[in-house]
Chain A
Amino acid sequence: DQQVKQNSPSLSVQEGRISILNCDYTNSMFDYFLWYKKYPAEGPTFLISISSIKDKNEDGRFTVFLNKSAKHLSLHIVPSQPGDSAVYFCAALSSNTGKLIFGQGTTLQVKP
């Protein structure tokens, strides 16, 4: 039962362009949604989050959009940089259970 899904295993974009990473979820009880970035041989690093009561949160080049009716969120990176190349995990949190449910990850490659 995959509660959080990232249907695109990989994405390749040109430096300077926009990267859009998508995530779908099934459980309407999730309170928060987070994006983590992971380099090889390192632990995931928190990037940005959004509360379920909001539809947008922006932090520098990173913006997360939440569409609750569609149970869909996306991460926009503008402009994309080669250093953004990593695996991006979408995660959903239900505060009352404390469980963080991760998607399978999307490997982003930003080409110079």
Chain B
Amino acid sequence: DSGVTQTPKHLITATGQRVTLRCSPRSGDLSVYWYQQSLDQGLQFLIQYYNGEERAKGNILERFSAQQFPDLHSELNLSSLELGDSALYFCASSPRSSSGVYNEQFFGPGTRLTVL
């Protein structure tokens, strides 16, 4: 158990819909990261938040957005869903400081999104 929790575990929805994935980081971790793992794909970095502020952006579509709340939990919002958005979405957290000191990332169990 990494200490990172994600809900829901599974999500099935239809094209055109909007969903929200939730992540609670490890206690004390200020950084939250979101990743997408599609079929036959490696983990693709989407976005990072540090203490409520967006810190880095990866291959995140405009239909997707995220935020980190004052209690440090984060939500990933996916809208106008397409079949190709079906994937595993992982959240990770790290105690990485704002000055850039490295720490490894701890991953949650993921949310499996299926778009029908």
Contact = CB atoms under 8 A, between A and B. Distances in A.
Same complex for A and B? Answer yes
B80 interface: no
A62 interface: no
A95 B106 contact: no
B106 A89 contact: no
Given A89-B43, A104-B42, A43 B108 contact: yes
A99 B102 contact: no
Interface residues of A, number: 26
B52 interface: no
Interface string A68-101: 0000000000000000000001010101111111
A45 interface: yes
Size category of the B interface is: 20 to 34
Nearest to B56: A98
Contacts of A45: 2, 107
A43 B109 contact: yes
B31 A43 contact: no
Contact of A100 (B45, B55, B100, B110): B45
Contacts of B58: 99
A49 interface: yes
B105 interface: yes
B108 A101 contact: no
A4 to B, nearest CB: 8
Nearest to B105: A100
Nearest to A103: B42
Interface string A98-112: 111111110000000
B102 A93 contact: yes
5 contacts: A42-B109, A44-B43, A44-B90, A44-B107, A45-B2
Given A96-B100, A102-B35, 18 more contacts: A31-B102, A43-B90, A43-B107, A43-B108, A45-B2, A45-B107, A46-B104, A46-B105, A46-B106, A93-B102, A97-B56, A98-B31, A98-B55, A98-B96, A100-B33, A100-B45, A102-B42, A102-B43
Interface of A: 31-32, 34, 36, 41-46, 49, 51, 89, 91, 93, 95-105
